[in-house]
Amino acid sequence: MDISEIADPAFTNEAAESTPAPSQRSDDNTKAMIEVPPSSAADDKHLTEALTALVNAVYSTAERDIYSTDFERTSTEDVADLLRAGELAIAYLPRPDANEDASSFHQTWGTPIGCISMKQISPTTGEFGMLAVDPAHRGAGVGGGLVRFAEERCYRNLGLGAMRLELLAPVHFEHGGKTRLQAWYESLGYVHVELRDFKGAYPHLHELLSGPTEFRVFEKRLVD
């Protein structure tokens, strides 16, 4: 997939010509697509609830051993704020009977299967977060497509030269998922540049941690 050749409809205001990403389901020939929906999607209750449920389910599994109790990574209000700001890209399975005049994302585009948030954090740097893919659609390039989409958007649309991400990893035991995730980010070109203060950044989550963690910041230079 070369997303550099694909128009970003939310930026160009063109119709929904989105970034293709393959779906892994062998019984489903539909290609997943990636898009930043228009800000009006923030008022689509069905969409904000579906994305919130997806992100919270994915993170509660991925970070189960890191927190001493159940926690919610996001809320419908947070998701709506991201959509309103144009800071959330969605991977989705397009509907064969898409209705461009419909008011809901599900009717217009299809079923969300993943997402990534992205924002500018300095004059030169962007950051992505809240990366989540439905377990039923993993291992087929959707997560990588979301990361590349965020990188392209920051580089081409915002003119940013670097992308950052944060990774919370326990240091009192080896966390297989985080080790795999970090190796994957490194294979995508991200380099560990800093340790951040998790307590200062997310005080409400810090008190739920089950033990000591490192809050690692990774950065990648964005180039052609």
Ligand X SMILES: CC(C)(COP(=O)(O)OP(=O)(O)OC[C@H]1O[C@@H](n2cnc3c(N)ncnc32)[C@H](O)[C@@H]1OP(=O)(O)O)[C@@H](O)C(=O)NCCC(=O)NCCS
Tell me the CA end-to-end span of the chain in Å, nearest whole number. Answer: 15
Q: Rounded to an integer, what distance in angstroms lies between the CA atom of residue 125 and that of residue 144?
A: 20
Query: Site for ligand X (CB under 6 A): how many residues?
Result: 17
Q: Which of residues 158-177 bind ligand X (CB under 6 A)?
A: 167, 177
CB 30 within 8 A of CB 21: no
Binding mask 82-121 for ligand X (x = CB under 6 A): ----------------------------------------
Q: Are strands 162-170 and 191-196 parallel, antiparallel or unpaired?
A: unpaired
Angle at 19 between CA 163 and CA 81, to 5 degrees: 60
Single residue of 50, 66, 131, 150 touching ligand X by CB under 6 A? 131
Q: Are strands 125-133 and 162-170 parallel, antiparallel or unpaired?
A: parallel
**Among the residue ranges 35-43, 138-146, 153-161, 214-222, the one whose residues contact ligand X (CB under 6 A):** 138-146
133 counts as binding ligand X under rule CB under 6 A: yes
144 counts as binding ligand X under rule CB under 6 A: yes
- Least distance in angstroms from the C-beta of 131 to ligand X: 4
- Least distance in angstroms from the C-beta of 12 to ligand X: 25
